[in-house]
Structure 1
Amino acid sequence: MDILTPEARAKRMSLIKNKNTKPELLVRRMIHRMGFRYRLHDKKLPGCPDIVFRSRKKVIFVHGCFWHRHDDPNCTKGRLPKSRQDFWEPKLNANRDRDWQAEETLKQAGWEVMIVWECQCRRIEELRAALYEFVAGVSHAKNPGA
């Protein structure tokens, strides 16, 4: 049972953003500090990737664990709500299917794709190393700016 009224729930849900989220801003700041430059939310590419490196043919999606159904058993945010599962399950599964389709289309077009999950943003050093390795194509140990 939801503790909020339907009106209060609708108002709260309308405040949720799909761009410029805290995890996305964190990832963007990290990449910028490493000296890489990028484009944002390219609508010409499948799935409208959050961060695009056109010259490198690489994209990064920053996914919220709940909205994109993170299936890592250690992630507590990726769980399905207990109420209104008949509504949430198809909605969230459609998000995941759409993500998968966009990722596959990009890969078939020769793009490299990285998914950063919201829960990964808690482990800053691991995330920084993974981002550097993905964007630069080399190990984090070789990054003097990190």
Structure 2
Amino acid sequence: MKSKRFLVPLLVLVMLGTVAAIQGLRRQAPPAPELFQSQVAAAENSLETISRLNLEVDLRGGKELEMRYSSNGAASTRIGRDGKTDAAALGEINSLLAALPPLAEGRPLAIIQGALEHLQVDEAEVDEFELSYRLTNGLARIIELEVNREED
């Protein structure tokens, strides 16, 4: 009889200990997930990954934006009539490349949107967008968008 009297409180204590241990495990932060190969970020765009880049954006009202880069060192940008060459142009082109999704992935709509956002151009103002590039691995692409507006 004496053993039955101690058995019930002992079972209650074991159950309370188990519940407390489970609650403690739930409150702990989950361990940081390991990166799998599919989760590793794609290579970022940079001047080192591009052998040639030409960007032309025609806006409503006749305004134009142009950026040109060649791995042989030639670089220029032009917004309207204001143009830059060499170091200033390289800086602008490099910052544009950093703002774009990886060019090797071939996501044309994301690339267009990223370029327009970086250049702070409202998409409603775009008449024509053309981006052609060649990566150092030989991949070459041309992305074109032409907006035809019907006016009453």
TM-score range normalised by the length of the shorter chain: under 0.3
The structure with the larger Rg is: 2
**TM-score w.r.t. length of structure 2:** 0.23
**TM-score w.r.t. length of structure 1:** 0.23
